[in-house]
Amino acid sequence: MSSKNGGPSTPILRRDPYEVLSVTRDSTDQEIKTAYRKLALKYHPDKNANNPEAADLFKEVAYSYTILSDPEKRRQYDAAGFEALDAEGMDMEIDLSNLGTVNTMFAALFSKLGVPIKTTISANVLEEALNGTVTVRPLPVGTSVNGKVDKQCAHFFSVSINEEQAQAGIVVRVSSAAQSKFKLLYFEQDANGGYGLALQEDSEKTGKVTSAGMYFLHFQVYRLDSTVNALAIAKDPEAAFFKRLEGLQPCEVSELKPGTHIFAVYGDNFFKPASYTIEALCAKTFEDTTEKLKDIEAQILRKRNELRQFESEYRKTLARFQEVTNKYNLEKQSVDELLKQRDSIHSAFTVVRTLSSHGSSSNLANGNTCKTSVEDGKSESPSEDGGSDGKDKSSRRRWFNLNLKGSDKKLG
């Protein structure tokens, strides 16, 4: 699904992703992310339209970041190299700003069918932010703003917080009743006055709306990446359950300092603008909700660990069940065969043998002959006794009348 300019398609000759991003194996997530952004901007096709080599380098950088930005993929690569990743499969990520109309239509169709597709942020938006040439609108804490942003464009907002609000915690949320696709972005201010991307959250459908949020509440909050292990889940439907919580990734920033902070809503629809509502809230007025979130995050983490252990137990039990089921089918066939053999042996205890159809006909003919002879004997018996037909009939009538009289007496 990648165009010639976008997406982390697998390079033919793969280099060590740490080498590609010029980081070490001990580098933090933030250091890896910073290195990626610099290289992605340097080699982005928008800035190197006539340089095919830059396009290949951009793909390599994106591919390497796809591995090192995912804790599970990074762990697998550190343990067993590319072979472990090849076994699991890699998720796709595309730059919509570089897709043609046909490819965009295909991407939109797959997304509508529920196939998770990662999208990158347009290099133009990131470059304008770095140069500090974007328009920033104020978003006071405790208020909301409605808007509509074009695809692959961004609306920037500034949120100013004081010491008390910073200590209580800040929440920034975006929702869309139109179920638009968007990204919520957080930028840190650079020394040159520009803004560098620090965090991003993709919108997720929750109920009848799409939403995304960032929670700076002084405790670790996790985001759920639904595209993690998407291909592996497609191969093994049961993994959809066990891998569901593997997409939990810790947010790199858990608190904001007093001052002004820059957020943006990025239009991620395939064709039309994204409608949205953005709001900034102070957690002080949501103390109970904040505690509930802290508790539920801890419960989900525990559940993820429990599922990892349960999956192993489940797989073993399932394998045992399949083994027992196979044995059951074999035993059933064996019992049926034994009973069939016994019935055959029972049938052998007889002097009657199965004859040919000709023999059966002869036997039947002989039977008829015997029956006819008996009948003939009966018809000839009166002559042998020397009695006439009339006398025989008279005797039978008298015998019948006597019986009838006897019956009448009994009835009387």
Q: How far is CA 77 from its chain centroid?
A: 24
Quote the pLDDT of residue 157: 97
Q: Which amino acid is at 46?
A: D
Least confident range from 66-80, 109-123, 136-150: namely 109-123
CA distance 107 to 116: 10
Quote the pLDDT of residue 46: 72
Quote the pLDDT of residue 14: 80
DSSP 147: E
Give the chain's mean pLDDT. Answer: 78
User: What is residue 357's three-state secondary structure?
Assistant: helix
Residue 359 predicted with pLDDT over 70: no
Quote the pLDDT of residue 145: 96
Residue 112 predicted with pLDDT over 90: no
Highest-confidence segment of 27-36, 206-215, 376-385 = 206-215
Q: Which of 186, 182, 127, 138 is nearest to 161 (CA)?
A: 138
Quote the pLDDT of residue 266: 95
Mean pLDDT of 91-106: 46
Quote the pLDDT of residue 393: 52
Percent of the chain with pLDDT over 70: 71
pLDDT classification of 107: cutoffs 50, 70, 90: very low
CA distance 89 to 144: 41
pLDDT classification of 6: cutoffs 50, 70, 90: very low
* Dihedral over alpha carbons 287, 288, 290, 293 (to 10 degrees): 180
pLDDT tens digits along 274-321: 999 999 999 999 999 999 999 999 999 999 999 989 988 998 998 999
Quote the pLDDT of residue 363: 52
- With beta carbons less than 8 A apart as the criterion, state whether 180 and 210 touch: yes
Separation in Å, CA 123 to CA 64, 96, 170, 179: 18, 11, 28, 25
Q: Which amino acid is at 333?
A: Q
Q: Please tell me which residue, 186 or 406, carries the higher pLDDT value.
A: 186
* Environment class of 377 (CB within 10 Å of its CB; exposed 0-12, middle 13-18, buried 19+): exposed
CA distance 38 to 170: 29
Query: Which tokens go with 134?
Result: 């974007």
* Dihedral over alpha carbons 159, 162, 168, 174 (to 10 degrees): -10
Residue 361 predicted with pLDDT over 90: no
CA distance 313 to 279: 45
Which residues, including other chains, have CB under 8 Å from residue 258's CB and lie 6 or more apart?
Answer: 161, 162, 163, 165, 166
Residue with tokens 């096709």: 45
CA distance 316 to 308: 13
Residue 409 predicted with pLDDT over 50: no
Backbone angles phi, psi at 302, to 5 degrees: -65, -40
What is the full DSSP assignment across 290-332? HHHHHHHHHHHHHHHHHHHHHHHHHHHHHHHHHHHHHHHHHHH
- With beta carbons less than 8 A apart as the criterion, state whether 184 and 277 touch: no
Mean pLDDT of 260-284: 92
Treating both helix axes as pointing N-terminal to C-terminal, what angle do 123-131 and 29-43 enclose, rounded to 10 degrees?
100
Residue 109 predicted with pLDDT over 50: no
pLDDT tens digits along 156-187: 999 999 999 999 999 999 999 999 999 999 99
Least confident range from 19-28, 39-48, 344-353, 356-365: namely 356-365
Quote the pLDDT of residue 60: 86
Quote the pLDDT of residue 190: 79
Residue 137 predicted with pLDDT over 90: yes
Least confident range from 10-14, 72-76, 79-83: namely 10-14
Quote the pLDDT of residue 94: 47
Backbone angles phi, psi at 66, to 5 degrees: -60, -35
Quote the pLDDT of residue 396: 52
Least confident range from 44-53, 127-136, 286-295: namely 44-53
Angle at 175 between CA 174 and CA 179, to 5 degrees: 140
Residue 368 predicted with pLDDT over 70: no
User: What is residue 141's three-state secondary structure?
Assistant: coil
Quote the pLDDT of residue 398: 53
* Dihedral over alpha carbons 198, 263, 92, 113 (to 10 degrees): 160
pLDDT tens digits along 179-213: 999 999 999 887 778 898 888 888 988 889 999 99
Quote the pLDDT of residue 130: 85
